[in-house]
Amino acid sequence: MPSVLFYLFAAITLLFGVGVVVARNPVASALSLVCSFTGLAALFISLDAYFIGTLQILVYAGAVMVLFLFIIMLLDIKAAEGRQTNYATAVGGLLLAVLFTVQIAMVLGDFKEGNKTLADQTLNLGAAASKTSLNTIKDELAEGTLPDAKLMGFTLFDKYPFQLQVVGLLLLAGTVGVVVLSKRDRGGKEEVS
Amino acid sequence: MITLNDYLLVAGILFAIGLAGVVVRRNIIVIYMCLEMMLSAANLTLVAFSRFHLVDGAPDYAAQSLVFFTITVAAAEVAVGLAIIVALFRAKQSVDVESVTKLKG
Amino acid sequence: MTVLLGSIDLTFLAISLAKIIVLTFMVILPMVAYSVMAERRGAAIMQDRVGPNRTNLPLTLLGFKKDLSIFGMGGLLQPMADGLKFILKEDFTPKHVRTFYFWLAPALTMVPALLTCAVLPFGSELNLGFLGLAHPVKAVIADLNVGPLYTFAIASLGVYGIVLAGWSSNSKYPFLGAVRSSSQMISYELSLGLAIVPVLMVFGELNLGKIAAAQDADGWLVLPLWGDGLSPGRLLLWIPMLISFVIFTIAMFAETNRMPFDLPECETELVAGYHTEYSSMKFALFFLGEYAAMIIGSGLAVTLFLGGWSIPFGPLLGLGYTPGATPLWLGLLHIATFFAKVIVFILFFIGVRWTVPRFRYDQLMKLGWLWMFEIALANVLLTAVIMWLVPLK
Amino acid sequence: MTSYNAASVVLLLPLLSAFFILVLGRTVGTTVSKMISVGSAALCFVVSVATLGVTNDSGVLVSFLNVGKLHADIGFIIDQQSRGMLFIVTFIGLLVHVYSLGYMKEDKAQSRYFGSLSMFMFSMTGIVLADNFAMMFMFWELVGLSSYLLIGHWFEKPEACEASKKAFLTNRIGDFGFMIGILTLWAASNGELGFAQLRESLSGGSVSGPLHSAPAWVLTVAAIGIFMGAVGKSAQAPLHVWLPDAMEGPTPVSALIHAATMVAAGVYMLVRVSFVIAASETAMHLIAGVGGFTALFAALMAVQQNDIKRILAYSTLSQLGYMVMAVGLQAGEAGMFHLYTHAFFKALLFLGSGAVIYACHHEQDIWKMGGLSKKTPITFLTFVIGTAALMGIPGLSGFFSKEEILGAAYHDCGWLFTAAAFTALLTSFYMSRCVIVAFFGKARSENADHAHEAPLIMTAPLMLLSIFAIASGYGFFSDRLQAMVPHAEHGEGHYLVMGVSIAAVVIGAGLAFFLYNGKDKDPLNIKLFANRFYIDEIYAVIVKVFQDRLAWIVSGLESIFADGLVARLPAAIACRVGKTARAIQSGHLQGYTFALGAGLILAIYLVVQVLPKH
């Protein structure tokens, strides 16, 4: 991964992140966030996490943010535009962000292990292949490619099947919750909108 | 070359931006987006650590599994949260957090 | 700066760039143009009309007596004329629109559609030894291990263009069209994704190139008649694969807003849907984006179910793919096969458009959520059971 | 059948039945409820008959409550005493269940009635099987509860309501003492509650228990406390007032609870723990005295009662007095024997009176009856048998048991013997009065005139019980039923005692015949007896004068200290603090988030920068 790409995508991620906060129009915020997430997905991919990177785009950019956009458009919020900025909160937020960043920078300054580069940590796929029990994964590792999604799936289903079920149940509960929340009272008085 | 710290710094800044956003913005939907941003920042640290902490020569997929779960839960949370926001909007005709201070002491 | 640039592999970059340019600008875009043409001619034929048949090389402008028709067929230059017209027309932006988003939307429709083709293996490999390259070049822009996921991820971004177009137009019909479109696309993405799960299960593979290669060696999913395809397991799997194929195709129609699912832009209800307010090149971009999505979708369907670049009974005829040792002519033949299949698929798209009537919107949603989704889900189970009962090898 | 199984079945069946009826009674309907209740009673009876042949045993059914030193298990103890008692309880219980089928036919809330009956059976068998004080106390209270429910069954009648409340409250007074007794024992024995363990602890046998070395006054307090429980439940003076009022309940209930079983629980318990009582001379004297006094006192009151059930109620009091006296005289076996015979004939009498009341269309005044001997011959015959047994006519069961007690009194204490003998005379007198007035002469009211015999389902238990009333005193019967019969050698004075008791019967009956034969009005008119020595009125005055004043003072103190200083003041402080502090809770999300972020930064600073340096 060339360094220039890292800087490019980090810049995209952060600048559009700032855009989310700064933009007056919620639609602009949402689109900024989409761009920010796309940059983030690229960073994931730069870390050899292809599956997570794709998932980031698929779930966040493709589904979650569409929902956001949808809600913003349906509710047709205009009130926020043109309203005066509250300088107290703006300063407070900025202060927090700066303090936090400085703090992170200080902590990272003391973090010696963090100075490892990707070159120091090259993947040793041969070693991984010898440790793998599943044949398809072993073959691909031996070929020299990283079967990212397969390894991910193997970890999920082999090590954390119970957690996976729980998350499935959570999603179901979420679905039911949304249906209940968004269902209007048929018996009650009709809303005038 | 790019070090682990670089990734962590990016994640930290992204988190800080999200935090600032939650403090600064009053539109509840934007606040929600900023929350998502903070979650994603956490995900970035996880993935970075996963890549820089090799297990048998391959990235540590336990960390990535955690990211997977985070994304799943975040998706569920967004769905429910947005439904709540819609309900709120129906009740208040506003998505400004200043308009929902009923529960103050 | 030198350090930064030093980390870049120039050869790789050059080859990738070449592939991108060739595939996108020299293949996909002309194909888009000519599928519009095919659509018009096809419609004309089916409706017993003549259709555009007179646009030739305008030699009369240069003082010749007669325009020159290419291959002796009238109207083959119609797409060029259309394109020219789009560019030259006045680019009108209504006053009441949200300008920035209004301009952004067409681009957001076009770009994801083109991005998707990055993982499509449009051929086996090209032995470019005469250019001094040591390894054969794979006929795919990005050989990702998460191919179908990538496709879905990018394709799901396509909805932004439509939603933004509808919203920024700030008028009734486009907005309705946008709302329809986005909910339709989100709904059918589920069936689309579930439909390819059985395929991925059979191959145990997320790399589209490998999927195509496997089909080349062991028979297409919907034509398992050679190699391992003749094993009882694969023959039994033919049933769920066919179901998957049908669901995938139908969902693809919905995703690309094609008839009979073109509710977002159906003229009788919404004037022209989300692009009512658009004109000139911006409108053209929507147009291009839609057809590009159609082509990429066809490409994906072909790759997943119809063997991709594989020639039918290829291994039996000696036209199969041998990794690293495929001659150049065979590589080119594979690429030609792929595009031939895609073209057939596009013709199928066009044929359906003028055959099937449009759905009502509630019927569309009902079909998506109550039938396709469940069938796709059951199909996953069916595949799993078959694979469990009858081992493939 | 093992003792464990028997105990659990006998305990569980009525519980299940009660639970089922109370929960599902409305759903399944009255008939099913009745069938379940009667069925469970019948099964219990069968099991307890089977238990008669089981060897002595004890054990734990459920480990119920184990906190620190407190070990309150649901256990069981099967010995001669509990086997015999179990037979009486289940047998009479079954008969009452069957009898109730007829007597309660018209009632509207039969489900509730039978549910309560089942609940009573459960509680009573619990008392009988109890092997420790905690279990005994729990079931003791449950008996009180089910008795309350049954007395107040007709709760729309204000008298029934009042009577049930009175019974419950009076019992609570006794139970309070009981609890003190138990706790004293528990503390003195260093955390023992089981009867066997306590007995061992007291005896100072192999392991010299702490109870053995406890000071005498502790044991006296414990014994008197425990006796107070019996005073409440067995309606001894001065807590006897609830029993006559409890006659407001349905008559079968009176027969089951207030004649044969529940009131006998006090005596049963005293006999069960007689080893504790035996340890205290003072307590024994007190018990014997109270018993003797109650016997005489109640008999006097019975002489002037007109309500047939009240006569029987006072007679029950008097007989219970006998039993308690026997316990106090260290003749617990004689007491249990009397309990056993008394259960049969008193149940017979009550059921008989129920039949009479039923026959006279719910008329209870004996002066409005008369001439029933011809109209209701079976009832009459069985009632006379019961009366004879109660009077102690030689050859019938009552004679044997009463004579045992009289013998014990004679040996121990002269004036108690005199009182007991006089009580026997009075018993003979008022029972004869009751029979003569109610069954002979001519009908003195419309209802009595149209009297008719009760149906077979009610008379059958009467007939069955009269067999027992006659025969249960003989060894042939009592041995098989595992009754506790004193087999002591009859010492000197045996014939004197027998003579005195026969003489008392003859004199009493003769007097009654002479006074009441053919009379339409009571020739005697002793206000003091008729008004039950004005005890209720005295209590009312005591309550009015002392308790109300005390309550007024306590209420004042409470509103100053408990309410003001303990409750209101802290509440006010908390309220004020809350009002001040809640300003922080502005409801502004941004403020909260800012605090959160600042706290986060501070926490990281402390953990990463400050902490490692120290």
The partner residue sitting opposite D590, judged by closest CB among B97, B102, B103, is B97
Residue listed under structure tokens 């018009």: C40
Identify the domain containing residue C370 by its residue range.
86-389
Give mean pLDDT, residues D537-564. 85
**Which pLDDT value is given to residue A83?**
59
Cβ of B101 within 8 Å of Cβ of D586? The answer is: yes
CA angle D368, D373, D379 (to 5 degrees): 95
SS3 assignment, position D511: helix
Rg (CA), chain A: 23
Cβ of A110 within 8 Å of Cβ of D608? The answer is: yes
What residue of A is the nearest CA neighbor of B78?
Answer: A64
Q: What is the average pLDDT value for chain D, to the nearest integer?
A: 85
Residue D459 pLDDT class (50, 70, 90 cuts): confident
B65 to chain A, any CB pair closer than 8 A? The answer is: yes
Residue A193 pLDDT class (50, 70, 90 cuts): very low
Cβ of A58 within 8 Å of Cβ of C163? The answer is: no
d(CA D59, CA A190): 69
> Is C57 within the bounds of a domain?
no
A71 to chain B, any CB pair closer than 8 A? The answer is: yes
**Which pLDDT value is given to residue D480?**
76
Residue A189 pLDDT class (50, 70, 90 cuts): very low
| D358, D457 contact by CB (below 8 A) | no
Q: For A161, how many CA atoms within 13 A lie in the half-sphere containing its CB? A: 3
**Which pLDDT value is given to residue D204?**
66
SS3 assignment, position C9: coil
**Which pLDDT value is given to residue D141?**
92
Tens digit of each residue's pLDDT (9 = 90 or more) over D516-525: 887 777 777 7
d(CA C268, CA C361): 13
- As to burial, measured by CB atoms within 10 angstroms (0-12 exposed, 13-18 middle, 19+ buried), residue D336 is buried
Q: Residue C140 corresponds to which amino acid? A: V
Cβ of A96 within 8 Å of Cβ of D604? The answer is: no
The CATH code of the domain that includes B63 is 1.10.287.3510
Give mean pLDDT, residues D27-52. 88
Give mean pLDDT, residues A168-179. 89
| D227, D287 contact by CB (below 8 A) | yes
**Which pLDDT value is given to residue A16?**
92
Q: Name the minimum distance, in Å, from the CA of B55 to any CA of chain D.
A: 27
What residue of A is the nearest CA neighbor of C155?
Answer: A62
Is residue D373's pLDDT more than 50?
yes
Domains and CATH numbers, chain A: 1-78 (1.20.120.1200)
Is residue D416's pLDDT more than 70?
yes
Question: The tokens of A130 are what?
Answer: 């010898």
| A147, A141 contact by CB (below 8 A) | yes
**To the nearest whole percent, how much of chain D has pLDDT over 70?**
97
**Which pLDDT value is given to residue A85?**
66
Cβ of A3 within 8 Å of Cβ of C3? The answer is: yes
Is residue D424's pLDDT more than 80?
yes
**Which pLDDT value is given to residue A191?**
43
- Number of domains making up chain C: 1
Q: Residue D48 corresponds to which amino acid? A: S
Q: Name the minimum distance, in Å, from the CA of B97 to any CA of chain D.
A: 7
Q: Could you tell me which residue, D609 or D614, shows the higher pLDDT?
A: D609
The partner residue sitting opposite D604, judged by closest CB among A89, A92, A103, is A103
**Which pLDDT value is given to residue A36?**
92
- Number of domains making up chain B: 1
Is residue A81's pLDDT more than 60?
no
Tens digit of each residue's pLDDT (9 = 90 or more) over A139-162: 777 777 778 888 888 888 888 889
d(CA A37, CA B6): 18
> Is C4 within the bounds of a domain?
no
Q: Which of A51-55, C348-352, C389-393, D272-276 is predicted with the least confidence, judged by mean pLDDT?
A: C389-393
Q: Which candidate, D196, D77, D174, places its Cα nearest to that of D125?
A: D77
Give mean pLDDT, residues D74-85. 87
The partner residue sitting opposite B79, judged by closest CB among A10, A108, A174, is A174
**Which pLDDT value is given to residue A78?**
61
Q: Which candidate, A86, A71, A36, A64, places its Cα nearest to that of B29?
A: A71
| D348, D465 contact by CB (below 8 A) | yes
**To the nearest whole percent, how much of chain D has pLDDT over 90?**
8
Give mean pLDDT, residues D262-287. 88
In the predicted model, residues of chain C with pLDDT beneath 70 are 1-8, 70-73, 229, 392-393
**Which pLDDT value is given to residue A11?**
92
Specify whether the backbone of D441 is left (phi greater than 0), alpha (psi in -120 to 50) or beta: left
Q: Name the minimum distance, in Å, from the CA of A180 to any CA of chain C.
A: 18
Identify the domain containing residue B49 by its residue range.
4-101
**Which pLDDT value is given to residue D214?**
78
Q: Which candidate, D375, D267, D260, places its Cα nearest to that of D315?
A: D260
Residue D489 pLDDT class (50, 70, 90 cuts): low
Question: The tokens of D557 are what?
Answer: 């103190």
Strand partners, D71: D66
**Which pLDDT value is given to residue D60?**
85
The partner residue sitting opposite A103, judged by closest CB among D590, D594, D601, is D601
> Is C239 within the bounds of a domain?
yes
